[in-house]
Chain A
């Protein structure tokens, strides 16, 4: 069977599975719709959290990013796992004991203020939409590449599926489809890695193979460092960014992870406080399987590419170079007209490649060697240097099985895994948007008198509208999506994390401290990111060399620095709020 045949079969089978699960787990009450009736087992919640958390970016892009960043890519690995320690120790058990439905619920009750609730609602919706646009786009990209359908149609199919199980099943439906999606995505991620590890070192476990040796007994990492040095790249196993920036980015990703509403909300679905603690452990274990495999895939892929492409004449290059050139993920500009692919450190052009095509037929224009000709001006202009090859980071996972000549069913599996990762994350985010609108905005602020049945209907409508908006963002992605993701983490780190943390661990912390602290944290982070990402701020002017991706860490410090003195200077919170704080610190009841 062909790759496409296998892809139809495997993707079709997984989609059928998700639909069957959704039909079996319909939500009938608001409790089931928002928090799956608080009856999810810790292991199931761990898997659901892992699928919720690991997005199209984790599945498709992360290994590729690490392959090109080397040691500097460690920020993603430590940042996106370390946050779970903060969640398990500092947030999840207490929020579960608090026992309501959403993060804004906690903000509104703990800080006895509709303003705090509203700030939380706006942040939650903004963070979720930022994220969801990337997921729907991911669905479209996987569809278009593996099934050769239009990206738009791919997004529409994805929308239809998420619409079906999120709107009908609510959190209950989402939870159990996420469990299935975790199994699909982890299988799809690790199988090619086993194959590769075995080919390269003779040991199928990627985590061991990465620290192993090749057939000649040379360490893989030492060999990669050597090849990179020969070609004029920087070493793989050393940091090249400044240490403070690395610390801040890692910190912002950790704090952001712990403060992201679609992750926190998952801990509301378990039965007991002790289950919230243990399901954070299960979640991290399930995530760690992918996150410790990714660095191995990164090294295998990079080594493989460097062994087959540089200094090879284009006409003799492996077949996949041409295939992926057609999808715009590889581009070659023959600077010195020698027909040989020179690949070294540095960019070819400033932006993404734009190819020339015949204005009448629309057929791509090709050069003397059969390669596609670039519109250099539209690609951002030719940069100085010797590098001739543009390689999109996403290729490392998507094309890896193909590059390594793995069987067609493995390639199909990767497509199904990418879809599972994107759909599960999109569904989790939709729940946050839907509950923020129906529960926090409508039920708690605008129309407290509505009955449960009406609230459930509003929740379904909100989910439906959110699916459509997300799909539109996927079809016409604003070109600043990637830049805005830094924003989501920065906002979560500088607003939610400090407000929830202080709310639990400092009984005396009050409304003015929380609200002003959040506004200052958000304000500072937003200003820094906007200035340096959108309004022409230069990297040379970054404060202490801290990039916009890492500024969330400083935003959190700003929040603390403002919130604590203000709280001390203003009135202590009411007695019943202090009693509530006492109560959430204890799992059961004390008589």
Chain B
């Protein structure tokens, strides 16, 4: 494999690792905490509020986490772009 080919593969592997990690959290907060575990989580309140915890995940918390996940991905990928030297030309 050529040098640029190895670089491409390395960049894409690192990208995939981030995607898998972040989507695991994505599924855990929405399908997990917001749906499947919600009835059980409703036994507690979100600390300091009157929100049943499962309800909070389903109607508030999961949405905040979604925004956070994209922010993390954007920052991580901007770093990867620079590390592997694959950023766009007018980026310098």
Contacts and interface: CB of A to CB of B under 8 A. Distances in A.
A128 to B, nearest CB: 25
A463 to B, nearest CB: 31
Nearest to B34: A78
B74 A247 contact: no
Contacts of B52: 221, 237
A297 to B, nearest CB: 12
Nearest to B56: A211
Interface stretch (A80-88, A115-123, A561-569, A570-578): A80-88
A569 B42 CA distance: 49
Interface residues on B, range: 35 or more
Contacts of A222: 50
Contacts of B34: 74, 78, 250
Interface string A241-261: 001001100110010000000
A586 B86 contact: yes
Given A78-B34, A221-B52, A238-B42, A284 B70 contact: yes
Interface stretch (A48-56, A144-152, A288-296, A330-338): A288-296
Contacts of B51: 210-211, 221
A292 B39 CA distance: 20
Contact of B67 (A77, A210, A284): A284
B90 A272 contact: yes
A591 interface: yes
Contact of A220 (B50, B63, B67, B71): B50
A587 B46 CA distance: 41
A241 to B, nearest CB: 10
Interface in A64-105: 66, 71, 73-74, 77-78, 81-82, 84-86, 88-90, 93
A584 to B, nearest CB: 11
A589 B87 CA distance: 8
A85 B54 CA distance: 21
Nearest to A286: B67
A585 B19 CA distance: 13
Contact of B62 (A82, A237, A274, A281): A82
A494 to B, nearest CB: 19
Contacts of B30: 78, 82, 250, 254
B59 to A, nearest CB: 4
Contact of A246 (B8, B23, B35, B89): B35
B8 A585 contact: yes
Contacts of B59: 66, 71, 73-74, 77, 292, 295
A284 B87 contact: no
A328 interface: no
Given A211-B51, A285-B67, A588 B88 contact: yes
A11 B63 CA distance: 31
B12 interface: yes
Given A77-B59, A588-B88, A277 B66 contact: no
A71 B38 contact: yes
B13 to A, nearest CB: 11
A357 interface: no
Contacts, number: 152
Nearest to B2: A590
Most buried by B among A77, A212, A587: A587
Interface residues of A, number: 56
Given A77-B63, A221-B52, A247-B36, A82 B77 contact: no
Contact of A211 (B12, B49, B62, B91): B49
A78 B74 contact: no
B57 to A, nearest CB: 9
Contacts of B78: 274
A277 B74 contact: yes
A84 B90 CA distance: 27
B74 A278 contact: yes
A243 B39 CA distance: 10
Contacts of B54: 237
A70 B55 CA distance: 9
A66 B55 CA distance: 12
B49 to A, nearest CB: 3
B38 A239 contact: yes
Nearest to A83: B66
B39 to A, nearest CB: 7
A292 B42 contact: no
Contacts of A213: 50
B38 A280 contact: no
Interface string B75-92: 001100100011111110
Interface in B11-42: 11-12, 15, 19, 22-23, 26, 30-31, 34-36, 38-39, 42
A459 interface: no
B63 A81 contact: yes
Of A74, A93, A274, chain B has the most CB atoms within 10 Å of the CB of A74
Given A78-B58, A247-B35, A274-B78, A281 B71 contact: yes
Residue among A211, A238, A278, A291 having the largest count of chain B Cβ atoms under 10 Å: A211
> Which 9 A-B pairs give the minimum distances between C-beta atoms?
A219-B50, A211-B49, A74-B58, A211-B51, A281-B70, A295-B59, A237-B55, A588-B88, A590-B4
23 contacts: A77-B59, A78-B30, A78-B34, A84-B66, A85-B26, A89-B69, A90-B19, A211-B56, A220-B50, A237-B54, A237-B55, A243-B35, A251-B31, A273-B88, A274-B88, A277-B70, A281-B74, A285-B67, A295-B59, A295-B60, A586-B11, A588-B89, A591-B4
Given A88-B70, A273-B88, 6 more contacts: A71-B58, A85-B22, A292-B64, A586-B8, A587-B87, A587-B88
Interface of A: 66, 71, 73-74, 77-78, 81-82, 84-86, 88-90, 93, 207-208, 210-213, 219-222, 237-239, 243, 246-247, 250-251, 254, 271-274, 277-278, 280-281, 284-285, 288, 291-292, 295, 582, 585-591
